[in-house]
Amino acid sequence: MTQHTLVLNDPIGFHARTASLFAKTAASFESEVSVYFNDKKANGKSMLSLMTLGVKSKQEIRIEVSGGDEDMALDRLKNLVSSNFIASA
């Protein structure tokens, strides 16, 4: 299992577009992806689940990945979030 904590800089937070990009990227890996915010946990491969976290701009999330391709997956997800969702999904 590997994890990373970072800030979401998108001006709206996890909304349809950003949650969708995150979920698509996560779904391209075998590993399980979870996102933690406050006390809530979401399935990183589900746009709806990510949106229910209610993450707003400049708030901190923790990404947890476990599985065979966890390092590569975490790397891609980190890049996606820190590039403000410009890095290709």
Smallest distance, another protein to C-beta of residue 22, A? 12
Residues numbered 6 to 45 that lie near another protein (CB under 8 A) are 11-13, 15-17, 20, 23, 27, 43, 45
Closest CB to another protein among 23 and 73? 23
Residue 7: helix, strand or coil by DSSP?
strand
Whether 15 is catalytic is yes
- Which residues fall within 8 angstroms of residue 63, CB to CB, at 6 or more apart? 3, 4, 5, 6, 33, 34, 35, 36, 44, 74, 77, 78, 81
Nearest approach, Cβ of residue 82 and another protein (Å): 22
Q: In what order do the strands lie in the sheet with 59-66?
A: 2-8, 59-66, 32-37, 40-43
Site string for another protein, 49-88 (x = CB under 8 A): x-xx-x-x--------------------------------
Q: Which sequence positions are flagged as catalytic?
A: 15
